[in-house]
Structure 1
């Protein structure tokens, strides 16, 4: 009986510890996601380069690019992410992987024209050593009434 209680206590301690870490990771990744939108608006490619995995993919309405191409687009202002108004976010963390869904209104300059578009953006992050790196970012055009299921 004492052995069963010890095993149960150990299981509960491990579960609480794992939940606390997962919660901390979720906070960290959500903050990175929020910061990313500001870095994109500021064209801060140095911060973005640190965040984006070298092999990351970026899916836009007009194409798919890899990290170097996305950074060049941001740096040159070919697409200027002027402002991303985040209306709703959800996150799932599983081990060293985190997926973030943001429902946003994006105001951007695209080839000299201002565009205001509603998106749900899916971001995939992976914990690599101590840092979280973005592996993928996909824009999905949605209605402004779209809701993210949590």
Structure 2
């Protein structure tokens, strides 16, 4: 049997291939962590959030929103406290949300939900209807999903 001797370049190549194979394995192991039932759980949670917003249920929203959550609206950004106060006071009343399309993706332990919606809201006493792509970012904290970010991007058409 002939002995194979690796030169310096071949050793580097073998090392790189080994690391690449380990990285691919870790990537697949991480994406397998969340299955369809987790996606369904998050989709349901997102729908429930829209209903809580319509109902001005700030107690449930307070539990769902992470303390460091950020909210991006057409007119600016808000903290958790500002968002809850705006909902409670009626500064923005999320009257009805028609969800047209939802997708859930994972980046590590972070869940990203994209909702294409048609939102009917009362803002400053005026009812407005706008199409949005809404990005929701959820992180698992102590076995529960917490909303870390909610961003509205107005779409040009329905």
TM class by shorter chain equals 0.7 to 0.9
TM-score (norm 1): 0.82
CA contact (8 A) 1:25 1:93 kept: no
Which one has the largest radius of gyration?
2
Please, which runs of 5 or more residues in structure 1 have no aligned partner?
1-14, 146-150
| Aligned counterpart in structure 2 of residue 122 of structure 1, from 135, 138, 155 | 135
Q: Displacement, 1:94?
A: 3.1
Map residues 23-102 of structure 1 onto 2, 5 A cutoff.
23-102=36-115
Secondary structure (helix, strand or coil) at the match of 2:32 reads: helix
Count of residues paired in the alignment: 131
Moved over 6 A (4+): none
Which of the pair has the greater relative contact order for Cα pairs under 8 Å at 6+ separation? Answer: 1
What does residue 104 of structure 1 align with? 117
For the residues of structure 2 that align with 1:22 and 1:94, how far apart are their CA atoms?
13
TM-score (norm 2): 0.78
Please, which runs of 5 or more residues in structure 2 have no aligned partner?
1-27
Q: Displacement, 1:20?
A: 6.9
